[in-house]
Each structure stands twice: as structure tokens, then as C-alpha cells.
Structure 1
């Protein structure tokens, strides 16, 4: 995407400053005089796909309700937090990996009453989960060892934080199993993005032809997720010649010869259209080209069960019918299947495809209800309310047992 277009579409609305390609992800906060932040966020990923969900939107939502909020990247944390006049009630560290680099700073801030919050949005703190991570099995040995070390590094932060926040209730329960007080703070959608899609309320009034089924797989970590839906999708496409599959991301079609053949037919137009990874804002708009979006995950796989529902709520922005894996998180997010079809097996997927294709009017009505639901429950304001409740609930609970200004343990 053209950088200027990206800035005008998204960056300016999020308060970004334009900078060159080698610029820092965040501008370091300017600390003058006695600063007292209610919440200060450190992005341990230094700017990845999760930054918007776990730092930017929550921080902006808290600022909108009157909190004094700051943020910086992990690379800038030593300078920002080391300022003589820096103080905050809650320090939220999102997915950082180097605890030793922050140990002294954490001890110092904790001694002055700051609550240390560690935020993690994947099940990446339990080595027992590694066999369930599909991408892990495709890594060379050196990458596997690095991946394992990253789990241990996250676990060290988890164990040394006062409290943890995370993106799903499943993950919160896993954190509680290791003895941490944990709260769910949902992933969300920017207010301006919701407003933009509210103005783009253009949908077919009947089933279109060709009928486009979309899958936004992201990085090459979802081969096993797609395995359950693939036979159902192929069967569905064989039964209906006007069905086209739109695949955006790094999914490898080599495991599915029929889909690969449809992507490069000897004659005729392709029935599988592939696209590379897109900037987030572009991907959201690209969903408007689809008539049905799928969100497959492996049922019962703890790493997948911990995944958030963003593939549902972002598809709902486009008022597009959705079929999602029947994970605990998707079941809750779709109000028990009221707002999207749920599938736990290949048979379920095949039935869901046919039901939506056969009665597309009903599917569109459900998608409209999903859009309204998502605008209310997945806005940045909803995420900020959850964050405020989590932080203040822990603050209040701690005050019952200890003077937070003298906590020194780490």
C-alpha cells in the first residue's frame, strides 16, 4: 500500500506521526515536570500486528475516558521510565521477552506503588503447548530453540508481574493455573474504523454469482487449521460451479492439489484467487469483496483454543456472513452461534457452506445483527472499560492486604 494512503487511511486517525521507513514505531514520550500517568504501556513487540490491539486501542480508549496515558516501544523503555519525574499507577508491558533488562526498573517502580501488569495474547508461556503449535513442527532446529526460549522468557515476565491481562477468557484461565491473577481485556476495533464501515453499508440483497468464499490466513501458521475445512470447501466448490475461493496470506496450497489446480487452471478463469499478506487496513477493506468468510481453527488444540475472536469480529465489520470453528472463544463471541455459523467437524463445515449458499438472505440478516453486536461489544471503548475494571479491581484487592507503596517482592 502507498505509505501516504496508509497514513491518511489509518495512521492519522490513530494519532501517528509520519516518519521514514527506518523510524521508531513510537515517539518517545516527552516528560517535563512531575508526570503522573494512570497507565503507561510498553510494547514488547516493538510494533507488530498485535500492537494495535493490545497497546494502541486500549491506550486510546483509556485516554478517551479521561485517563492520562503514555506508551513507548520496549527499545525506548529504559529512557522513558528512567526519567527522574516519571511515575504511573499501572505499567502495562505487552509481550516483552527480556525481563532482566527491566528488573531494576520494575523493582524501583513497584517500590513507589506502581502495579506491574504483563499482557500476553497467545498461549506462549507453557512449554507443554509446543507440540500443539503447527508452525513449530515446520521450523529448523535453530528456530525451534529460539521459539522455546521465547516461551521461557514470557513465562518469566508472567511470574514476576503483579497481575496479567490477556485477550481471551481461555488464556486468562491458563494464567490462573500458574498462580497468576488474570483478567480478560478483549481485542477491539478502532472507533474510526467502525465509523468508516458504518458508512460502507453496501451488501447484495440476494446471493451473488460468482459467490466468493474468503479466508484471511495471515502468516504461515495455519496449515493444520485449514485441514478440517479444506475437504468441505472442495466438495462445496465441486457442487457449485460459481463458487470462488479467495485466499489472502501465506497458506501453502501444495497440500491441496484440487485447490492448487483451480488456482492455475489450464483453461478458463481461476476459481482460487490468492493474495499476499496485506496491511491491516487494506485487509479489512478487502473483506468487502467476499460473500462468506471462514475462520477455521483446530478444535481442542489448546494453542488454537486460546486464539482471540478477531477473525469473526473483523469479518462482521464488512457485514459478511461467517463460519467459524466452534472453539470456546468463538462460541462466546458469536453468542452461541446466533451471529455466525459454528463448525466442529468437516461435516459441520460442509453443512454450513450449503445452508448459507441456499438461504443467503437469512445469512445476510445474521451478518447485519453481527455488525451491530460487534460495534457495541468490540469497540475500543469496550476494551478500555474492561482494562479499567481489571486494573482497578486488582488495585482494590491489593489495598485490602498490603500497602501498595511498599511492595518490594519481585
Structure 2
């Protein structure tokens, strides 16, 4: 089944636009799906309404609600076009803004504008038919607001793979004195506390190995106060700052690292929402990563095989020590990580997942697309949720359940299946659970979710 997607982005930052819009366009194109992307809402309402009407899906990436956006959503609804809210950050929960350090430093007026933006993002989410996020954590937060939510992870662009291949054919410039470089991309000012998670373990390694250096790239400067954790100050002479580079040069910088550091502040919901790109970007150039034990990194990294996960000081120290003292381990783990991300995060692979996700979202709206299937005007559609244990493939009883759910969906009701994992589905995502139902029973014109004892949509 072919369809077209109209992307509108409210975030022009190069990396986010690449990961959440351009990558999706590339992934869809790999499977013959046409799409158009806009970086803003300029051009006039009449033009935008025409463009919305010319596509089958309206995908809104981090766009704050406005009267113009309200018109576009209304147009989509009138035409039976599903509206998707996309996000890769926790930008829709006003009560969590207190965890964003830069907001605490803002004046009252500036902070009020920030909060207003978060409320407007939330309103866009609530006005949408479904949500697509980059992590399971974000999807769970969206579901608590009553929205069907799907995870589509940040992947690799074709140009990233090409650039990495080129870098892998070149030997990285190594220090003549045999130094080992632990690299850390510090990101934006919102991540100033992340390095503290690894600081004590990193300090132990620096104390034992005088030939190890820490290279910090980006906004976090060792000279800033209080940017550098106290544990690392005795080693300031072996901590180098490298300014941020254009994103397309980042892989070349990472190739100079021996070990990639990816800590995230524990207990901070904004950090819990972050994706695994610090692993995938390093992996594509064969650099092993030690990362915090967040859900995204646990999904991406096979601990001890394609990277290391650390959840406390002893783990940070032990796993950094293992990589610092064993060059062959660094090489093997870097090679395994590269093979892993090429297999799981390439455009063709991610594209198939995206096509299935978008098809599932279109199915959620299908009863509204065909007026003949809608309830009579004086009837109110119901939201019907089924909770049942993981079925045996081909089970007759569960086949009847799926048929009954599809029948009710055909009358305009919204149906959701929550499947309690028992054996095969323990470590599967919602999309993989949907694929299981589709493969062994029938396509379901409703939501399919793995039951985690959380709230239902």
C-alpha cells in the first residue's frame, strides 16, 4: 500500500531536523514512499491547506500550537488524514521543566515564555491522532495523556554511513606518546550535570593511568565554573577542550577517540527521554562506548559485547579500566558495535519499520476515513480495550477476539489490544508485538500494545 507524508518541522536545528525529518524521508524513499518536508509554517494558510490536502498523513514535528496549526489539523480531520505529533524530547510536560538547568537561570519573563511553549507543544500532541517518539520512555509519557504512541528510533543517514566508511579506511591520527583519548561530546547547556555521573569512576582511571586524556567537545568547557566536576579538577592538565564542530565533521572527530563516553544525569526525566545516538554515532566509526544505564542505551547496547553500560561509580571505573588497558578489547567492541548499528539502524531497515508504523496509524483513522463505517450521528463511538495474555500462534480463541475487534472498529469504535507478555514477547516493542499479531492472526484496525501495567490509551 502506497501513501504520501507531509512533514512540517517546528525545530530547525540541524541535528534534530536531520534525525527526525530528513532521515524519515530517506527511509520512506527507500521503500517507494513519497514525502514532502517543510521547516516552518511560512507560505500562507491557503498554500499550506492545499499541501495538507495533497497528502495522506500530516506529520508535525515539535510544532507549538497556533491558530494556523489549528486550521491545518481541522483540514486534515475533515479529509480523514491522520495527524501525527513527533518528538525526540520531553517537550510536552510542563511539570518537568524544573529539571532543565538553563530554565532555572532564566528571568521570569523568559521562563514564562519557555513554559508557554511547552504548553503549546502539549496542546499539539493532544490534538493529534497519534504520537511518534524516539524512545520508549517518551512513548510511555505520551500514552499517559491518552494518545496511541509509537517508537521510531533515531537511525543512521546514508551520508553518515558513507562518511564513516571513508573514515574507517583511513587510520586515525594517533598521539606519538601513546596517549589514550576518552572522548565526550558535551552537547548543549541543558546537559551540564551529565558528566558528573561518570566523574568519580573516570577520576579513578585517570589517577591510575597518566597516559589517559579526556577530550571534551562542545558547550561544556573545563574552565567553566561549575562545569567540571570536583572529582576531575586534579586532572585538569590532562583534560582538553575542543570547540563544537559542524555536525557533518563530527564523525571525523569521534574517529580520533579511543573510547566514547555517554553519561546522562540519573533521575532526570529529560535525560531518561534521550535516545541512543551517542552510541550509534561512535559505533559507526568503530569507537566503543561506555554509557549510562538508561532504557535507550539498554535497548541499543549489548553490555560487554557492543559496548558497556554503567549504573554506578564502580561500574564506570571497571569498564573504563577494561577498555583503557586492553587495545584488542577496544578493537573488538568497536567492530561489533559498527556491525550492530549497520544491521539495525540503516535507512532500509528503519524504513520498513517506519512504513509499518505509519500504516498502523492510518488504520487507527480508517473508520473515520470511510463515512459509511461511522456510527450514526446520534451514537457516540466507544473506546474498547482488551487485555489478554500472549497468545499461542494461530490460537482459535484469539483469532475470534481479533475478528470481533475488527468488526467493532468497522462500526467506528476505537479498539486497543493490550497483550501481557509471557514468553516470546518479553523484550519486544509495541511495533514488534503488532507485527506478531499481524503475522499469526490478522491485521488489527486498532492499537496493539505490550501491557506494562501502565495506563491504557
- Give the TM-score normalised by structure 2: 0.74
Residue in 2 that maps onto 1:248 = 217
Further displaced range: 141-150 or 107-116: 141-150
Q: What is the Cα deviation at residue 258 of structure 1?
A: 7.0
Q: Does 1:232 align with 2:215?
A: no
Residue in 2 that maps onto 1:302 = 269
Residue in 1 that maps onto 2:89 = 122
Residue in 2 that maps onto 1:369 = 336
- Describe the superposition over 1:146-173 as per-residue Cα deviations: whole angstroms up to 9, x where unpaired: 2211210110000000111010111111
Q: Following TM superposition, where does structure 1 have runs of at least 4 consecutive aligned residues deviating by more than 4 angstroms?
A: 257-263, 404-409
- Describe the superposition over 1:9-64 as per-residue Cα deviations: whole angstroms up to 9, x where unpaired: xxxxxxxxxxxxxxxxxxxxxxxxxxx96101111113443100000110122122
Residue in 2 that maps onto 1:14 = none
Question: CA separation in 2, counterparts of 1:375 and 1:327?
Answer: 22
Q: Does 1:197 align with 2:164?
A: yes
The answer on whether the counterparts of 2:89 and 2:273 sit within 8 Å (CA) in structure 1 is yes
Q: Give 3-state SS (helix, strand or coil) of 1:245's partner.
A: strand
Question: CA separation in 2, counterparts of 1:85 and 1:75?
Answer: 12
- Describe the superposition over 1:154-213 as per-residue Cα deviations: whole angstroms up to 9, x where unpaired: 100000001110101111111111100011111111113213312432568x99820001
The answer on whether the counterparts of 1:41 and 1:94 sit within 8 Å (CA) in structure 2 is yes
Q: What is the Cα deviation at residue 124 of structure 1?
A: 1.4
Q: Does 1:73 align with 2:42?
A: no
- After TM superposition, the structure 1 = structure 2 runs for residues 2-401 of structure 1, keeping only pairs within 5 Å, are 38-76=4-42, 78=45, 80-83=47-50, 86-201=53-168, 202=170, 209-253=178-222, 254-255=225-226, 256=228, 259=232, 262-263=235-236, 270-399=237-366, 401=367
Question: CA separation in 2, counterparts of 1:377 and 1:108?
Answer: 37
Give the direction of change, closer, same or farther, for the CA distance of 1:174–1:338 in structure 2 (3 Å limit). Answer: farther
Q: Which has the higher contact order (CA 8 A, sep 6+)?
A: 1
Give the direction of change, closer, same or farther, for the CA distance of 1:248–1:285 in structure 2 (3 Å limit). Answer: same
The answer on whether the counterparts of 1:45 and 1:51 sit within 8 Å (CA) in structure 2 is yes
Question: CA separation in 1, counterparts of 2:52 and 2:269?
Answer: 43
Question: CA separation in 2, counterparts of 1:328 and 1:380?
Answer: 23
Give the direction of change, closer, same or farther, for the CA distance of 1:52–1:39 in structure 2 (3 Å limit). Answer: same
Q: Give 3-state SS (helix, strand or coil) of 2:274's partner.
A: coil
Q: What is the Cα deviation at residue 262 of structure 1?
A: 5.0
Question: CA separation in 2, counterparts of 1:356 and 1:336?
Answer: 13
Give the direction of change, closer, same or farther, for the CA distance of 1:403–1:98 in structure 2 (3 Å limit). Answer: closer
Question: CA separation in 2, counterparts of 1:314 and 1:278?
Answer: 14
Question: CA separation in 1, counterparts of 2:156 and 2:370?
Answer: 33
Unaligned runs of 5+ in 1: 1-35, 264-269
Q: What is the Cα deviation at residue 80 of structure 1?
A: 4.2
- Give the TM-score normalised by structure 1: 0.82
Question: CA separation in 1, counterparts of 2:188 and 2:52?
Answer: 42
Further displaced range: 172-181 or 63-72: 63-72
Further displaced range: 341-350 or 298-307: 298-307
Question: CA separation in 2, counterparts of 1:157 and 1:98?
Answer: 5
Question: CA separation in 2, counterparts of 1:47 and 1:327?
Answer: 24
- Describe the superposition over 1:227-283 as per-residue Cα deviations: whole angstroms up to 9, x where unpaired: 1212222232122111111101111433336756755xxxxxx52211222211111
Q: Give 3-state SS (helix, strand or coil) of 2:215's partner.
A: strand
Give the direction of change, closer, same or farther, for the CA distance of 1:405–1:195 in structure 2 (3 Å limit). Answer: farther
Unaligned runs of 5+ in 2: 381-457
The answer on whether the counterparts of 1:220 and 1:252 sit within 8 Å (CA) in structure 2 is no
Further displaced range: 84-93 or 168-177: 84-93
Further displaced range: 74-83 or 304-313: 74-83
Question: CA separation in 2, counterparts of 1:324 and 1:46?
Answer: 28
Further displaced range: 163-172 or 82-91: 82-91
Name the count of aligned residue pairs.
366
The answer on whether the counterparts of 1:166 and 1:184 sit within 8 Å (CA) in structure 2 is yes
Question: CA separation in 2, counterparts of 1:356 and 1:143?
Answer: 44
Q: What is the Cα deviation at residue 369 of structure 1?
A: 0.8
Question: CA separation in 2, counterparts of 1:84 and 1:90?
Answer: 11
Give the direction of change, closer, same or farther, for the CA distance of 1:214–1:97 in structure 2 (3 Å limit). Answer: same
The answer on whether the counterparts of 1:229 and 1:346 sit within 8 Å (CA) in structure 2 is yes
